[in-house]
Amino acid sequence: MGLRDRDLGGATFRMREKMIAIGDDYWIEDDQGHRVYKVDGKAVRWRETFVLEDASGSALCKIQEKKLSVRDKMTIEHGSTTATVHKRLLGIRDHYVIEVDGGEDLKAHGNIVDHEYEIERDGDTVARVSKKWFRVRDTYGVQVAEGQDVALILAITVCVDAMARG
């Protein structure tokens, strides 16, 4: 078992690939198939806006695309935390930087388009994304390390997916 296949000790979630679109809602399931989070796509003027909700409909994170900035950016509002996700192109691979106001920044790197990448904080893997865990077409998994903010990590994954196809 390679480092990439090592269990992070946390929860694994099932996401639908490229299904995030304005006006669309979809469920994020746990590895048992239970609906645990919902992504609610809203059309708001010139921006893409998504809301990550828990299973009971309580809003956990608000995700907005910033269309008028020089570089594509998306912001996540999660309680008192604001994070900004932006893309950098390094060589042939995409690399995303997640700047967390008042916290440690994160980065997402790997094969973003094929949903085979990791999210790291200060060199430590906090989440792993892979299509290999589920045999369902257009589906990928997100494994969140134990002790991490699951809603924030899933919101980052929603941003990276939306930006990678945009």
Q: Which two tokens stand for residue 102?
A: 């008042």
Average pLDDT over the chain, rounded to an integer: 81
Please name which of 81, 36, 33, 78 lies closest in space to residue 54, comparing C-alpha atoms: 36
Domain CATH for 121: 2.40.160.200
Q: Does residue 43 have a pLDDT over 60? A: no
Residue 133: which residues within 8 A CB-CB, separation 6 or more? 12, 31, 140, 141, 143
DSSP SS3 for 10: coil
Q: How many domains does the chain have?
A: 1
Lowest mean pLDDT among 41-55, 121-135, 139-153: 41-55
Give the per-residue pLDDT at 114.
84
Q: Does residue 46 have a pLDDT over 60? A: no
DSSP SS3 for 139: strand
**Measured distance CA(62)–CA(51) in Å, rounded:** 5
Give the range of the structural domain holding residue 78, as residue numbers without chain letter: 3-165
